[in-house]
Structure 1
Amino acid sequence: MNDYKHQPYWFNQVNETNFPHLTENIKCDAAVVGGGISGLTAAMLLCEANFNVVLIEMNTLRNGTTAFSTGHLDNYYDQEYCKLIKHYGLGAAKTVIHAKADAVTLIESLAAKYNIECDFKRIAGYLYSENEKDNKAIEEEHDCASKIDISTSIQTNNPLPFPKFKSLLFQNQARFSPLAYLTGLAKAFTSSGGRIFEHTTMKEFEEKNDKVLITTSTSTIEAGKLILAGHTSLTGKINIQPRIYPMLSFVIGVEADSKIEDALYWDTDVPYHYTRIASTQDENLLIIGGADYHVGSKPDSRESFENLKEYANQRYKVKSIPYYWCSEYFESADGLPYAGFVPGSENVLVLASYSGDGLTFGSASAKLVSDLVLKRENPLAAIFSPSRIKLLLSMPKLTKEIGHVIKHFVGDRIFNYEEDIEKLKPEEGALMRIKNQTCAVYKDKDGKTHVFSASCRHMGCIVQRNNNEQSWDCPCHGGRYDSYGNVIVGPPREALKKVDIE
């Protein structure tokens, strides 16, 4: 797929942001760490309440999960309605799902209020089966939807041009361009008095009296409240890291020779596939996602893209595949986000772990934390609380994940690695044993070799090479670095250590 653009389709629609790097000490009412949809929405809502708000982002706004998402806005639950009801009860399930619907309305209203041109459109959604055995699951989800007051109808078909069995139709869902929305919201935020600083990484924070002191590499921020909205947040008071699992999801942009109905589509496969048209202007371009896997569990992401390509070719008359990209997201142990005050603190809040529902759960969680800061009631507070305990639900998944971490933490240290740097081709990387340590070795396009310690700067797990993404991926907690060792995705806050091999 080297002839195609290895970037999201949305990058063609919006210019890159260019907010300054923070270089001076500042004060504010609230500081937000993380410039994705949850962080920026929380910042905007507090700004509307006349708070002096500062947002810092370690990279740029277009480098996060939001910009790499597919822009599906729906009130379906990634892990199924029936499971949500079973695990949390009817009342909580109804609260969660209607909060997702309210999140779509919030996005719609903010886009209208601030004249954000993001191709937002209300459309239908279809959950469908491609095999007879999953018809029962469709029927069960229909019954569970009615229990939580979500209107759906069972269809014997849907508009997609290939054989299906039953489908579940959802009305009043939506799609948009996530990057156009994000950059438009950033513009509205700064026009309303908010401040954004890109390429600014939080190193640590300290609560002192009724303030929070946030330290970056070049400055200090004194804030009344701190909102941690960067996926994974190690706060010292609560470590949510063992309860979240890093995943990669893959997307291709498919140019088909005919249009499909403008709707959202997702199937019952595990992992499931999801499809939509790219935009009102590109109705023949399909955005197809799926083939998810645990970060660092495969040596190369190329297989996932090939699987999506095969999936598309089997179902559509494909003319070309001009785009492909992947995005990292985090699943929680019990399937719901962590959003709210850090236990024991009245000044630090966290937003994390939206699974495959980041745009809606991220917006709903942002509304929740802004309400908490403003001392407003919100029915999600107890359900999304970072201190909640769902042992029976989370323990099997937690035990499996701990085993996965131990496997990589120990096993990757005794693996027999390649030791011949000369075998590396330009723009390739590999793990090698050099001077009795495991190293991450990369050869750039000019043939220059770059050598780093392969130990992740978070907790020391051995990173894995992903040549297709040009990244070093930590299989333990999801940290990702570019080929030169710079952090792409946290929790690590520092680059891989360079190793001198002379």
Structure 2
Amino acid sequence: MTENIHIPQFPESYWRDSIELPSFPRLQDSVKTDVGIVGGGITGITAAYLLAKEGLKVTLIDAGLLLKGTTGHTTAKITAQHGLIYDEFSRHFGAEQASKYHQANMEAKQLIEKLVEQHKIKCNYQQEDAYIYATSEQYQEKLETEKKAYDELGISGELTNSIPLGLSIKSALCMEKQAQFHPLKYLKAIAKEAEKNGAVFYENTTAVDVEYNKHPAIVTRDGKRITCRYVIQASHYPFYDGQGFYPTRMYAERAYIVAVKTPEKFPGGMYINAESPSRSIRSAQMDGKEMWLFAGENHKTGQGQSTMQHYDALQQFAEEKFGITDYVYRWSAQDLTTLDKMPYIGPVTRGENSVFVATGFRKWGMTNGTIAASILSDRILEKENPYAEIYSPSRFQADPAIRKFMRTNADVAKHLIKGKLEYTNNNIDELTPDNAITTRINGMRAGVYMDKERNLHAVDTTCKHLGCETHWNSGDRTWDCPCHGSRYSYTGEVLNGPANEPLNRVEID
């Protein structure tokens, strides 16, 4: 690798570091509202805006800070080109449903564009062509198959044997007039508009359950209640399952992003390869100067190699292909994938009319999250939405859902058993700063992290969701669960659900 390149010591999202976000109080008292929204990302904030604009009283809470979750760690592509998906959706759902998925995501793009123009939001919104490119003959054939699906579904797309980026490729499939932006500049403005219309926001307020009396009530960790007519779970992972068995129907994956400056000028466009490991490329502006974002290296949360190796792989790719003059940011993201890859948006269970869910965006949350807000807002406002059916959480497609169900849950069982049988007896005395070990303290499996000041932080590594054992994530300094994707800080605080309680602290004698 190039010598003297500064490598960011701590993971930090450029989006969050480049903007000053408003702060909101913790919910101190029980309240009544029309709509209670849990989750301060693109779905929750957009829904708050749409509903408050129609005169409904909206209360939104977030377990941490607004826009600190998946939305704050995205690549922020606004596109209906979600990898090689349309041929697969046509085969599994039929052409009409696959076409509606495309239309829904294009409508989401149009809504974002409309709000940017309407509210004059300065968020670096720019139209770009999107490309999937193949570097092997096998995936060249897959692109040709995908192009046939485009043609059958009426999706505008073009096959080409070269791309502006200058990489050596076999072919690429272009979807024109897609877009990219700074997601937090956009959502900061949308939240402000929602507030103008009466929406109320609270941070550091964790939802743990929904109670039913005459109306549903969101119950917070410290016992406060938000009594409402409707509940929208926009919390990444549903905190309330309602016996919808969501942990058995989704899996969590992590991806990594590095932001670099290179001597090459970015030629425009947004790119993702068809092969694995994934490589997603786009540009962004930092202080008026161009930087390149390289993303990819997907893997199931809590599983696989040392996470720093994923950052290293992206850096190496960027250096080999384009050169690096400065390595300015690195961060990671997590998202959920459903068994059939179609997001779950709608009533949490069949027949439910008050509690809704939006999850499983498969890393394409800018458009799927926006259309989720539109679908759920229409449901609450008693308006017809043409896309509600295709995203219904109650759907069941026998192919491929049964095979994926068995495979996903066999993997969960394997990691649950493996974690319980794993022998851990590492010596704390051998621990060095900014490293962690798993060991046993008073017979209990514990994770111990030593910070830069040589302070020790010990937690019980047993995940509070369903009892799997978490593993150390060296790249992000977190304890990650390999079963359902819960993540905790090194002090045990919840960073990602489905867990909603922190890991137990362990005293070191």
TM-score by length of 2: 0.95
Question: How far did residue 276 of structure 1 move?
Answer: 0.8
Q: 2:479 aligns with which of 472, 477, 490?
A: 472
Q: How does 1:144-155 map to 2 (within 5 A)?
A: 144-155=149-160
Matched, 1:305 2:311: yes
| 1:366 alignment counterpart | 373
Q: Which amino acid aligns with 2:327?
A: I
Q: Which amino acid aligns with 1:165?
A: K
What SS does the aligned partner of 2:33 have? strand
| 2:59 alignment counterpart | 54
Question: How far did residue 213 of structure 1 move?
Answer: 4.5
| 1:248 alignment counterpart | 254
Q: Which amino acid aligns with 1:438?
A: R
Percent of counterpart pairs with the same letter?
28
Cα separation, 1, equivalents of 2:158 and 2:411: 40
Q: How does 1:65-464 map to 2 (within 5 A)?
A: 65-217=70-222, 219-233=224-238, 234-279=240-285, 282=288, 284-298=290-304, 300-343=306-349, 344-464=351-471
Q: Which segment drifts farther, 88-97 or 294-303?
A: 294-303
Aligned partners of 1:250 and 1:290 also within 8 Å: yes
Report the CA distance shift for 1:258/1:2 in structure 2 as closer, same or farther (over 3 A). Answer: closer
Report the CA distance shift for 1:299/1:166 in structure 2 as closer, same or farther (over 3 A). Answer: closer
Aligned partners of 1:256 and 1:286 also within 8 Å: yes
Q: 1:35 aligns with which of 16, 36, 40?
A: 40
Report the CA distance shift for 1:218/1:419 in structure 2 as closer, same or farther (over 3 A). Answer: same
Question: How far did residue 475 of structure 1 move?
Answer: 0.6
What SS does the aligned partner of 1:412 have? helix
Pairs aligned (count): 502
Q: Which segment drifts farther, 63-72 or 159-168?
A: 159-168
Q: Which amino acid aligns with 2:475?
A: N
Aligned partners of 1:61 and 1:183 also within 8 Å: no
Deviations 1:244-281 (A, max 9, x none): 10100101112110212221111111242111111386
Aligned partners of 2:164 and 2:268 also within 8 Å: no
Q: Which segment drifts farther, 131-140 or 363-372?
A: 131-140
Cα separation, 1, equivalents of 2:335 and 2:393: 18
| 1:493 alignment counterpart | 500
Q: 1:14 aligns with which of 19, 26, 33?
A: 19
Aligned partners of 1:121 and 1:176 also within 8 Å: yes
Aligned partners of 1:419 and 1:432 also within 8 Å: yes
Q: CA RMSD in A?
A: 1.7
What SS does the aligned partner of 1:284 have? strand
Question: How far did residue 499 of structure 1 move?
Answer: 2.1
What SS does the aligned partner of 1:124 have? strand
Cα separation, 1, equivalents of 2:159 and 2:468: 47
Gaps of at least 5 residues in structure 2 are 1-5
Report the CA distance shift for 1:408/1:5 in structure 2 as closer, same or farther (over 3 A). Answer: closer
Gaps of at least 5 residues in structure 1 are none
Structure 1 residue ranges, 4+ long, deviating more than 6 angstroms after superposition: none
| 2:3 alignment counterpart | none
Cα separation, 1, equivalents of 2:293 and 2:390: 32
Cα separation, 2, equivalents of 1:116 and 1:452: 43
Report the CA distance shift for 1:275/1:102 in structure 2 as closer, same or farther (over 3 A). Answer: same
Question: How far did residue 391 of structure 1 move?
Answer: 2.8
What SS does the aligned partner of 2:138 have? helix
Cα separation, 1, equivalents of 2:305 and 2:323: 31
Q: Which amino acid aligns with 1:359?
A: M
Cα separation, 2, equivalents of 1:228 and 1:93: 25
Report the CA distance shift for 1:469/1:4 in structure 2 as closer, same or farther (over 3 A). Answer: closer
Q: Which segment drifts farther, 57-66 or 77-86?
A: 77-86
Question: How far did residue 300 of structure 1 move?
Answer: 2.4
Cα separation, 2, equivalents of 1:39 and 1:22: 17
Question: How far did residue 8 of structure 1 move?
Answer: 1.7
